[in-house]
Structure 1
């Protein structure tokens, strides 16, 4: 089954944590739709900031949005002006207090979302898809990835019939739950239609206990938000219980 399922979803609760952390009760659907709106808005507004993931935590009156990015300076802006502006915009969307935390991705070559987005941008710029994929694979291997696989599907080079091609180097043990495998799917929009780009990156194996958080190994660059009476304690207890 490891070949058929999403590698991230297949490892939730084992070596990976959730991107949304809250209890919804009867309002579960509304909060889930609101999370989707927040993520879509952030990815659209920060399209040039190399955003990889958006993690959302909720308390009764506060929403904590954690953005992982390879270019934190674009999000923070001069003296934090841009991140404050983003906080006010999200506050208008949700009608709740917002806190924004920004974590920097030190090695974007090992982040599947950023690798897939980079390949998609190059294809949209009319660079050969084979060249873009081979450059991405070489860059990831240079950064000590144990394995990487990239699959592209669609009307490659404008062919009348769609097809799929896969390129792989190293190992991708999808059925090994302790294998730390990152995965992403990105679409490239070309004059011939959309191309689907899937990326798997094997970072290593996890032995023993590990914090179930997508932020493992990242460094915090900035935070923006107000006072959180009692809210931080609940979030910290939740993280401790998941360890």
Structure 2
């Protein structure tokens, strides 16, 4: 049987880097890990329409947090000319403090320093494509309408390669099945290939639908 390898994990250390970068002692490692997960989850929930590509988190100390956010619509996060930047920083600070208050009640609360770097991305990420499809599917559009809406209306410029897979009880069918489409090339076994990947779930009245998106952007040139 063929064994599937996660496209991003396969390229870590080569063309991909970890989204969380910090060192921790044994007793703090799991705390930092779950805190990062909670922070990303809250931002994805609060700003679904922003079109996140990735959220990188760096820590110098326990209370010094640096975040590099790549997003399609930066104005949704910080407003025009970054006029809401301080409010967004404060929101992140409150999310972290809330998590620590709930899960680390014995620790003495202290001031958290948050540094933000926000970048606009021109190419539509696999994550935002998956979010677009999920929004359509949860509004009870057919999967074909969702795919057509993405390919014909949402995508301003098609990438060199793209694959989309949706699985589950499609259109309320009794039996679960899987459909997929592919356009262009998708060199998954080439380490130099810049592959963006996202796997998410859509909650519909018929149950969960799995949505997976692979996007090939370009080949990395090491010379």
TM over 0.5: yes
Question: By how many angstroms is 1:78 displaced?
Answer: 5.5
Q: Please show how residues 214-233 of structure 1 align to structure 2 within 5 Å.
A: none
Structure 1, gaps ≥5 residues long: 210-243
Give TM-score scaled by structure 2 length.
0.83
Deviation by residue 1:41-60 (Cα, 9 ceiling, x = unmatched):
21122223222321101112
How far apart, CA to CA, are the structure 1 residues paired with 2:178 and 2:143? 12
Match of 2:133 in 1: 119
Classify 1:176/1:41 alpha carbon distance in 2 versus 1 (closer, same or farther; 3 Å): same
Question: By how many angstroms is 1:142 displaced?
Answer: 6.5
How far apart, CA to CA, are the structure 2 residues paired with 1:71 and 1:190? 27
Classify 1:19/1:107 alpha carbon distance in 2 versus 1 (closer, same or farther; 3 Å): same
| Aligned counterpart for 2:115 among listed residues 91, 94, 99 | 99
What SS does the aligned partner of 1:48 have?
helix
CA contact (8 A) 1:55 1:67 kept: yes
CA contact (8 A) 2:78 2:88 kept: no
Match of 2:35 in 1: 34
Question: By how many angstroms is 1:170 displaced?
Answer: 1.4
**Larger relative contact order (C-alpha < 8 A, sep ≥ 6)?**
1
Q: Please show how residues 134-153 of structure 1 align to structure 2 within 5 Å.
A: 134-137=148-151, 143-153=157-167
Number of aligned pairs? Answer: 207
Structure 2, gaps ≥5 residues long: 98-110
Question: By how many angstroms is 1:64 displaced?
Answer: 0.7
Classify 1:150/1:144 alpha carbon distance in 2 versus 1 (closer, same or farther; 3 Å): closer
Question: By how many angstroms is 1:33 displaced?
Answer: 1.3
Question: By how many angstroms is 1:139 displaced?
Answer: 6.7
Deviation by residue 1:110-157 (Cα, 9 ceiling, x = unmatched):
x11111111111222232211322443457986252211110001001
Give TM-score scaled by structure 1 length.
0.77
Match of 2:92 in 1: 90
